Structure 1
Amino acid sequence: MKTDQSRDEALVEAYKAGNKKALAILVKRWHKLFRDKAYWLVKDKDVAKDIAQESWTTIIHKLESLKDPKQFKFWAYRIVCNKAMDWLRVQSKNQKQTLESNFEIVSEDKAYSENDHLKAQLAKALKALPNNQKMVVQLFYIESYSLKQISDLLEISVGTAKSRLFHARETLKITLKHINYDH
């Protein structure tokens, strides 16, 4: 009896040899799992469907270059995760731009409320963080991911995720220490 890994290996080899049905079998076997993985990351069913479809486009395009067909599952999952992370980065950038534009909309003659001022300072401090720390902060605080989920997603250890979160917090404390929260 073939293992899933050896079955995938045989299907990849068959596809590389010109058997188009092998690709159809791979899609049937893996599409739902890829969609579920994307959903786990982006938390939006429609976006997850799109990511799974885009992932298949990339997989089909690059399947010929897969050196070790035994690694199909891990290779393909990495593609799905990368597509999902790309989407999350775009969303994060859009949210940041929306936040920044919301602050720019306030007219010069209208004074910022204290809350708006705090939000602006926090947005500026977050923007100044290194990207690796910013990503962990976003996933932890905005997306509500656990440290384990973050480590799996970013392919880093849990300790590294904790360290990045710690250093981001410390940087934010220093940057924002002048703010008096007792208003």
Structure 2
Amino acid sequence: MEKDNHIDTEMVKAYQAGDQKAIAQLVKRWHLIFCKKAYWIVKDANLSKDIAQESWQTIMDKMHTLQKPSSFKSWALRIVYSKSLDALREQSRKRSRETEFGKQQVAVVDDYKEKTEHKEMLLKAIKRLPEQQQSVIRLYYTEEYSLKEISELLNISVGTTKSRLFHAREKLKLILKPIIGNKK
């Protein structure tokens, strides 16, 4: 164990001095251990390999800041551990976003169904109105004609148009009240 630590210390010092081959030696010695450590935390073989790669990138970027080369093992394993925890947090956030997205999709579908059901109920209720009231309701709400335009189209006074529209609305309330009252 002491011998292994001494080898790591020498390789770290060599890398810090500019020897690029030293990092290859460290990777050869530690990569599998990093993968196993990451796997022990995340329980995903592919993810653990990615974590080991990211850890090596961080190690190479920050190796020059390592003041005590003999502490390479604990320093590097702490990096792997931190990266593994970051990966777990990211997976958790991703699952949470997916769950939330799924809930939103269900809500949109439910909302669409509810609107479609209400529209069907309203159309059925309109069909139960007298023909004159149906015409005024459709022209006013579906075709978006003004009261004056409806009166001209149907050749009736504006007052009669208003009256038919009022009575049609009141009848629709009476028809729909038992249906909507049961839904709530």
Sort the TM-score into its range (normalised by shorter chain): 0.5 to 0.7
Counterpart residue type for residue 60 of structure 2: I
Counterpart residue type for residue 108 of structure 1: D
Bigger proportion of residues as helix: 2
CA distance in 2, matches of 1:14, 1:109: 67
TM-score by length of 1: 0.56
TM-superposed CA distance for 1:39, in Å, is 1.0
SS in 2 for 1:18: coil
Q: For residue 9 of structure 2, what is the aligned residue in structure 1?
A: 9
**5+ long unaligned stretches in structure 2:** 115-184
CA distance in 1, matches of 2:113, 2:39: 42
CA distance in 1, matches of 2:4, 2:29: 10
Q: For residue 108 of structure 1, what is the aligned residue in structure 2?
A: 111
Q: For residue 76 of structure 1, what is the aligned residue in structure 2?
A: 76
TM-score by length of 2: 0.56
TM-superposed CA distance for 1:2, in Å, is 5.0
Q: For residue 62 of structure 2, what is the aligned residue in structure 1?
A: 62
**5+ long unaligned stretches in structure 1:** 112-183
CA distance in 2, matches of 1:2, 1:42: 30
Q: Could you give the per-residue CA deviations for residues 109-139 of structure 1, whole angstroms, max 9, x where no partner exists?
A: 779xxxxxxxxxxxxxxxxxxxxxxxxxxxx
Q: CA RMSD in A?
A: 1.9
Q: For residue 28 of structure 1, what is the aligned residue in structure 2?
A: 28
TM-superposed CA distance for 1:102, in Å, is 1.8
CA distance in 2, matches of 1:68, 1:61: 16
Q: For residue 45 of structure 1, what is the aligned residue in structure 2?
A: 45
TM-superposed CA distance for 1:24, in Å, is 1.2
Q: Could you give the per-residue CA deviations for residues 46-70 of structure 1, whole angstroms, max 9, x where no partner exists?
A: 1111111111111001000111111
Larger Rg: 2
Question: Taking structure 1 as reference, are residues 109 and 34 closer, same or farther at Cα in structure 2, changes over 3 Å only?
Answer: same
